[in-house]
Amino acid sequence: MRRPILLTALAVAGALAVSLSVAGCGVKIAIPHAEGLFAVNPWVIEDSYDLPGVRQVAGLRDNSTLFVITADSLQRRMATNFFSITHGTGGLSDATALCVDPRQEFVLVWEQGSHSLSWYKADDLTRLGTAVLPAVGAVRAMAADTTSIGVLPGAEAFVYLSDPEAQVVHRYGFDAINGVFSYGILTNSIGEGTRSTHDAWGLAVDGEAKLLVCDADTLRNWVIRFDGTPDFTDVSTTVGEDDPLRGMAVPFAVTCEPPAMTDYVLGNAAECLEDPEAPWVPGPSDQLGKFRSPKAVAVDGSGQVFVADTGNNRIQVFTAEGEYAKTFGGRDLTPSPVSIALFDIGTYHAAYVFVVGQEDGKVRKFVSFDRYVYENGGVPPKPN
């Protein structure tokens, strides 16, 4: 069973930030500024930007390039200076989702109005191609990886599209010159196990090239981990897919023997050695490590998983092994978050975190505590 790991700090005058480097891995460890007797603030808000119609953000994590879509535009901005639009393109038809390819050379955008997937050069947003995909109903999020791409000769990556209308996460082979090729699905809504998603939202690729899928179903509220490798033994049937080739759910870490549902997901799930007198009850929760309608997920260079806990107006952070680590945000800072972009700067993982608020059309920029100390030479002020 995964137990929340609570970070604590004493609220002492003149709290000092201590930044250490772990031998051999260069990971920064910081003692955050005390905000209360038993509370810390691992990420602090740096700025807030009004951007009417903003839908999603994505980034080139290592060079501070941020991509933003509105219903009719794709923009390339700098994470260090959000007001700097280096490139932009308009005329999009109800853009709803975007992602960056694994080599960080292309930006892929779904346009709901034209039912098409388009791809652009990441450096200047030159449109390189468009493919109309009639089998796709609607798209909430996208992700791309190269897992087992060798099974589809000529493809550069697999692109995944979460589709609530078809109740599947589609898998397409992608090649910048030849376009996209349907290659079954990652998951569908059939069944109650961790191999299915009932209400798929956010998608991301973790540090071990596994797919993370947010399932915002009322009785689930979790993030499932998948190996996207097509399963050629899969004989499931789905709507609109003749050859499913689904992926397999894989655990974050094995804590139960045999592995229980909680090993495969982040959030509220059946745990090992359940007490028959107190069975697991599914549903949304505001407890730490659990969710109420998770709708976006992102992963930093150290493998930390950031989940937009949309219904609880917060961002929750987990280790690469799936253990709860910390929480930031809140009703005033991250109202109904629906998209996250992370940026590593040197050894500072997730130094900047950009969050899109569904309710107010704002993009908010957070800076990690240790990065703030490095940039400003002191701890951040307490909020008013």
Contacts of residue 255, Cβ cutoff 8 Å, sequence gap at least 6? 1, 2, 262, 263, 272
Q: Can you read off the two tokens belonging to residue 51?
A: 């951007």
Tell me the torsion sign for CA atoms 88, 371, 101, 296.
Answer: negative
Residues 256 and 155: their CA atoms lie apart, in Å, by 38
pLDDT digit string (tens) for 197-207?
Answer: 999 999 999 99
- Of the candidates 288, 227, 270, 229, which has an alpha carbon nearest to the alpha carbon of residue 252? 227
CB crowding 230-257: b at 16 or more within 10 Å, else e: bbeebebebeebeebbbbbbbbbeebee
- pLDDT tens, residue order, the chain (384 aa): 454 544 333 333 333 333 333 333 444 444 454 444 344 589 999 999 999 899 999 998 777 899 999 999 999 999 989 988 999 999 999 999 999 999 999 999 999 999 999 999 999 999 999 999 999 999 999 999 998 898 998 899 999 999 999 999 999 999 999 999 999 999 999 988 899 999 999 999 999 999 999 999 999 999 999 999 998 887 765 444 456 889 999 999 998 888 889 999 999 998 886 666 667 778 899 999 999 999 999 999 999 999 999 999 999 999 999 999 999 999 999 999 999 999 999 899 999 999 999 878 899 999 999 999 999 998 887 765
Residues 11 and 146: their CA atoms lie apart, in Å, by 46
Using a pLDDT cut of 70, give the percent of the chain over it: 85
Tell me the torsion sign for CA atoms 158, 184, 213, 270.
Answer: negative
pLDDT digit string (tens) for 79-89?
Answer: 989 988 999 99
User: In the prediction, which pLDDT does 240 show?
Assistant: 44
Residues 185 and 231: their CA atoms lie apart, in Å, by 10
Domain assignments of the chain as residue spans, ordered by start = 19-376
User: In the prediction, which pLDDT does 15 show?
Assistant: 37
pLDDT digit string (tens) for 297-335?
Answer: 999 999 999 999 999 999 999 999 999 999 999 999 999
Place of tokens 């920064």: 28
Rg, C-alpha atoms of the chain: 20
Residues 360 and 335: their CA atoms lie apart, in Å, by 8
19-376: in CATH 2.120.10.30: yes
Tell me the torsion sign for CA atoms 86, 87, 91, 97.
Answer: negative
225 in helix, strand or coil?
strand
